Amino acid sequence: MNGNELKEIALKAYRAMEMARAFDTKLSALYKAGKIYGGVFIGRGHEAIAACEGVYLRKGYDVYTPFIREQAGRCAWGDSVLDSARCYFGSAMGIMRGREGNVHWGNPQEGTVAPISHLGASVSVAAGMLIAKRMQGITDAVGVICIGDGTTSVGATHEACNMIAVEKLPAVIVVTNNQYAYSTPNSQEFACKSLCDRGLGYGMTTHECDGTDFLQTLQVMGCAIAAARAGEGPQWVVANTLRMCGHGEHDDASYIPQELKDSFADRDPLTVARRQLNELGWLTEDEINAIRSECADEVQSAMAQVQKEPTPSPASEDWSATSWKPTRY
């Protein structure tokens, strides 16, 4: 990858990070105003990891399995914040039409899996999409499968990762270690020294990066995804960060020690990315401010639009869970 290509990718990823941050911030405010049903789950601290994995993928060709804190990845992949907002607001115009909420949305026809709440369940689904592509003669598609430190404990994850390794699928498993699974710290989640050990156990090539360091993350993801695309088999990427928010917006994360929070005070991925891009001379202060302001405007207009859209009606709902129905005689 030459310098210009890297710059283009970096700027695209950075813009996705700003968009996701603006979206999450607005969403949190709307949640606290009582405008959103259920819960709100934001990705503060995850933006660099998500954006850097999503930015290398081709929507409609590759497979992307975003997880709970992947708004930046969705933006980098090419989904609009309007679609995410529609899922949260249960808009009848959204892909999920009010039948699903918050982060549970996807568009399998474009390559994203609509995740279910059960952690690890989407890993094998993504594997199936990759197997199908192989059967269909597509050899250079990859799949990025997002999991977290908590998900590595789930049996379904193990079954699926082993299967991916056995089938040598072009999958990149991104393990975002944000140190807490809801309130459970790493020490109570796993006992291996590093989560990389798990990838090694499956027989995958492993990578690790500081997920708060934008440029480092961009490079590591780029390598891993390129390797998978080149047919080198599944890649296991452990990206370390801290969840810089609660599990959901109902949660104040008071169980995270203050010292730990303080140690990440100057490691907000957005701050780091702005500084790095500025230092490289790729973006001026003014350009950064302009991007931030454009993202805020786009989020604002998406949120305004979605609140005016029709909500699903129980009366016109068909209440049918199958596409095929038997003939009645």
**Residue of 20, 125, 196, 244 interacting with other proteins (CB under 8 A):** 125
The residues in 209-238 that bind other proteins, with binding defined as CB under 8 A, are none
Long-range contacts of 113-116 (CB under 8 A, 24+ apart): 113/63, 113/64, 113/65, 113/66, 115/65, 115/66, 115/67, 115/68
275 is an interface residue for other proteins by CB under 8 A: no
Separation of first and last alpha carbons in the chain: 64
Residue 137, interface with other proteins (CB under 8 A)?
no
Binding mask 1-40 for other proteins (x = CB under 8 A): ---------------------------------x--xxx-
Give whichever of 258 and 323 is closer to other proteins, judged by the CB atom: 323
Which part of the chain contacts other proteins (CB under 8 A), choosing from 3-11, 191-199, 233-241, 249-257? 249-257
Contacts of 125 (CB under 8 A, 6+ apart): 65, 113
Of 258, 315, 316, 328, the one binding other proteins by CB under 8 A: 328
Q: By three-state DSSP, how is residue 37 classified?
A: coil
How many Å apart are CA 220 and CA 227, to the nearest integer?
A: 11
Nearest in space to 130 (alpha carbons), one of 200, 76, 66, 65: 65
Q: Which residues of 28-50 are buried (b: 16+ CB within 10 A; e: fewer)?
A: bebbeeeebeebbbbbbbbbbbb
With beta carbons less than 8 A apart as the criterion, state whether 122 and 65 touch: yes
Task: Using the minimum distance from each CB to other proteins, give the nearer residue, 1 or 166.
Answer: 166
Confirm or reject binding of residue 159 to other proteins (CB under 8 A).
Answer: yes
124 is a site residue for other proteins (CB under 8 A):
yes
Q: Applying CB under 8 A, does 136 fall inside the site for other proteins?
A: yes
Q: Classify strands 171-177 and 184-185 as parallel, antiparallel or unpaired.
A: unpaired
Per CB under 8 A, does 181 bind other proteins? no
Smallest distance from other proteins to CB 110, Å: 11
- Rounded to a whole number of angstroms, the minimum distance from the CB of residue 184 to other proteins is 15
Give residue for tokens 């949640």: 31
Residues in the site for other proteins, rule: CB under 8 A? 34, 37-39, 95-97, 99-100, 104, 106-109, 113-114, 116-118, 121-133, 135-136, 155-156, 159-160, 162-163, 166, 248, 250-252, 320-329
